[in-house]
């Protein structure tokens, strides 16, 4: 008993010391320290940090130096802090599409106005003749929803015509109006390839996409990027495409079908694929390619627990931006201050704070600063497919893409709210600070699938994507609307620079919150998890079993 009485004060003292060290580490994250990185990375010297350019190389060198100076070790085996990965850029030309009905009638949709198309792999030309078309509804196979649009129909060698989005008619299925991965075009193209289809055509409507045809035509007619070899020619899938609603209307009419009836028919688990009755498709196009060398930057703060230090919290942020584009009022350089020098800065400051309390960390921290996010989340995709840490050994991912640079808020938004235990920790830690956590205000836009955390989730890692709140403290009425307007006007433009509205007290407060959430995951008894029934739960269980 005397020994016990002696040790109790020591235990309390140790706990107090640990608490003080954590508070000191958290307090070291300041608006000034955050701004210092943003000022450097968004300066003209870094040329907009486009992937594969001199600007990316300058940014990479800066990041490696920062990781070394804070005492982080290399996150790659060769000690370089750099994970290079090859990209390929694809440009298409000579786009031709011809639709025939039983050889007796034909119609030629117009590229850009009616359709866009490109090779699904890395072929220099596509020449498809007389291909059979089959409408497959949403093109979804989701066992957890008891949903299969294919019903064991063999679609190999056929062109799939697919409705965009996922079912929204029932709030208890597919997340209601929230867009899941099943509703993203990437899923539909991947499913077509998996099932051996010759190609996949997605029907665009503004309602199902959430944006107009101009976004599709402008976005997909430009140079496209992929990890080299990642789209290879090892399958019979040759072409991916989008068509307008009017084009799909004409297409279904040729088959004696009503497009609106077909789109509505997809809203049933009993839907079965529908052949387009003698309608055939001919597609030809040419493509040329260029190689690009991109680089992720990786640093590690090693944990101290001998049994847990080979498990990791992964912090992600992308350091690439748009580089130099067409001049606007004499400015052609996209500095990318908010997107995403701010997120990279938050990651670096969190890493420094974890380094300051390294002896108190059970698990390790991997700072994964990726490139090629702006051209398709390709840096994070490459890491997820070539991980330096097995995904089953990663407890969680916090993705920092665009911070609150406009002032302190009482709230914070979490993309992924309610989906995993990491999001629950944000709620708990925020409540200690008197702050509220809100879910994605626009779940129908599928934001969860549009930043680097998505590639972490695809390999089972419980991931969250924090977004700024809008309940500003100490600002005049209507300030939130002003911020929305300024941020929207600056997004992906030459105006994304530090300006008179910037107030990093918000980023300071948010980054400290994420630091404490990350600490909880590092020292928790168990690895983090997805909620039962979540679309990524099965992959998580698979990775945990096979790590």
* For the chain, domain boundaries: 35-71+302-546, 90-289
Across the 547 residues of the chain, what is the mean pLDDT of every consecutive 10-residue run?
Answer: 56 64 97 98 97 96 98 97 97 96 86 97 95 98 95 97 96 90 95 97 94 91 87 73 98 96 98 96 97 97 98 98 92 96 98 98 98 96 98 98 97 97 98 98 91 98 98 96 94 94 98 98 98 94 96
Q: How many C-alpha atoms does 414 have within 13 Å on its Cβ side?
A: 27
- Residue 428 has what DSSP assignment? H
Helix (H) or strand (E) holding 250: helix 245-254
Q: Which two tokens stand for residue 138?
A: 């949403």
State how far Cα 209 lies from the chain centre: 17
Which one, of 111, 371, 83, lies nearest residue 225 by Cα?
A: 371
pLDDT in the model for residue 19: 78
Do residues 303 and 363 make contact, with C-beta atoms less than 8 angstroms apart?
A: yes
pLDDT in the model for residue 210: 85
Total number of residues shown for the chain:
547
pLDDT in the model for residue 286: 98
pLDDT in the model for residue 103: 64
Which one, of 489, 459, 200, lies nearest residue 338 by Cα?
A: 489
Q: Annotate 505-520 with b (16+ C-beta within 10 A) or e (fewer).
A: bbbbbbbbbbbbbbbb
State how far Cα 307 lies from the chain centre: 31
pLDDT in the model for residue 335: 97
Residue labelled with tokens 């995993």: 420
Which one, of 400, 379, 390, lies nearest residue 460 by Cα?
A: 390
Pairing of strands 199-203, 159-163: parallel
Q: Do domains 35-71+302-546 and 90-289 have the same CATH topology?
A: no
Hey, is 508 helix, strand or coil?
A: helix
Distance CA 537, CA 426 (A): 20
Q: Which two tokens stand for residue 408?
A: 């302190």
Helix (H) or strand (E) holding 209: helix 206-209
CATH architecture assignment, domain 35-71+302-546: 3-Layer(aba) Sandwich (3.40)
Do residues 502 and 454 make contact, with C-beta atoms less than 8 angstroms apart?
A: no
End-to-end CA distance of the chain: 44
pLDDT in the model for residue 102: 81
pLDDT in the model for residue 222: 87
Q: Which long-range contacts (CB under 8 A, 24 or more apart) does 147-154 make?
A: 147/173, 147/174, 147/269, 148/269, 149/266, 149/271, 149/273, 150/195, 150/273, 151/272, 151/273, 153/272, 153/273
- For the entire predicted model, the pTM comes to 0.90
Distance CA 325, CA 508 (A): 31
pLDDT in the model for residue 450: 92
Of the candidate CATH numbers 2.60.34.10, 3.50.30.30, 3.30.70.20, 2.30.42.10, the domain formed by 90-289 belongs to 3.50.30.30
pLDDT in the model for residue 16: 60
Which one, of 418, 369, 364, lies nearest residue 396 by Cα?
A: 364
Q: How many other C-beta atoms lie within 10 A of the C-beta of residue 121?
A: 22
pLDDT in the model for residue 5: 59
Which one, of 207, 170, 88, 135, lies nearest residue 445 by Cα?
A: 207
């Amino acid at each position: 008993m005397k020994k016990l009485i002696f040790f109790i004060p020591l235990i309390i003292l140790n706990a107090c010391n640990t608490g003080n060290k954590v508070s000191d580490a958290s307090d070291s994250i300041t608006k000034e320290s955050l701004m210092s990185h943003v000022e450097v990375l968004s300066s003209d010297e870094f040329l907009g940090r486009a992937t594969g350019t001199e600007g990316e190389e300058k940014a990479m060198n800066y990041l490696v130096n920062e990781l070394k100076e804070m005492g982080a070790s290399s996150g790659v085996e060769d000690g370089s802090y750099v994970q290079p990965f090859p990209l390929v850029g694809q440009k298409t030309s000579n786009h031709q599409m011809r639709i025939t009905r039983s050889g007796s009638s034909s119609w030629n949709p117009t590229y850009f106005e009616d359709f866009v198309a490109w090779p699904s792999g890395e072929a220099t030309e596509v020449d498809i003749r007389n291909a059979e078309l089959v409408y497959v509804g949403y093109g979804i196979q989701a066992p957890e929803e008891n949903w299969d649009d294919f019903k064991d129909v063999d679609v190999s060698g056929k062109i799939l015509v697919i409705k965009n989005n996922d079912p929204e008619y029932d709030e208890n299925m597919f997340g209601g109006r929230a867009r899941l991965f099943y509703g993203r075009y990437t899923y539909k193209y991947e499913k077509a390839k998996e099932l051996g289809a010759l190609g996949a055509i997605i029907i665009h409507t503004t309602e199902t996409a959430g944006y107009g045809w101009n976004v599709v035509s402008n976005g997909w007619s430009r140079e496209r990027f992929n990890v080299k070899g990642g789209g290879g020619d090892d399958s019979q899938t040759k072409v991916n495409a989008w068509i307008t609603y009017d084009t799909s209307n004409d297409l279904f009419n040729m088959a004696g079908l009503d497009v609106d009836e077909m789109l509505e028919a997809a809203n049933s688990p009993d839907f079965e694929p529908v052949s387009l009755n003698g309608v055939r498709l001919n597609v030809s196009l040419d493509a040329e390619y260029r190689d690009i060398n991109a680089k992720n930057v990786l640093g590690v703060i090693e944990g101290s627990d001998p049994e847990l230090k080979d498990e990791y919290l992964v912090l992600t942020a992308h350091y690439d931006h748009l580089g130099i584009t067409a001049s606007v009022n004499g400015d052609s350089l996209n500095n990318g201050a908010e997107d995403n020098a701010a997120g990279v800065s938050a990651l670096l400051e969190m890493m420094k704070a974890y380094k300051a309390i390294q002896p108190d960390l059970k698990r390790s921290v991997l700072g994964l600063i990726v490139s090629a996010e702006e051209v398709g989340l390709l840096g994070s995709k490459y890491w997820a497919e070539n991980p330096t840490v097995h995904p089953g050994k990663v407890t969680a991912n916090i993705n920092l893409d665009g911070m609150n640079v406009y002032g302190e808020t009482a709230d914070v938004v979490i993309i992924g709210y309610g989906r995993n235990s990491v999001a629950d920790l944000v709620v708990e830690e925020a409540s200690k600070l008197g702050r509220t956590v809100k879910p994605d205000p626009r779940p129908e836009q599928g934001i969860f699938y549009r930043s680097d955390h998505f590639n972490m989730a695809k390999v089972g890692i419980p991931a969250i994507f924090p977004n700024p709140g809008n309940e500003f403290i100490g600002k005049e009425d209507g300030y939130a609307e002003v911020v929305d307007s300024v941020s929207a006007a600056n997004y992906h433009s030459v105006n994304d620079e530090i300006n008179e509205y910037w107030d990093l007290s918000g980023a300071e407060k948010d980054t400290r919150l994420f630091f404490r959430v990350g600490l909880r995951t590092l020292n928790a008894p168990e690895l983090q998890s997805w909620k039962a029934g979540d679309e990524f739960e099965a992959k998580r269980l698979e990775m945990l079993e096979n790590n």
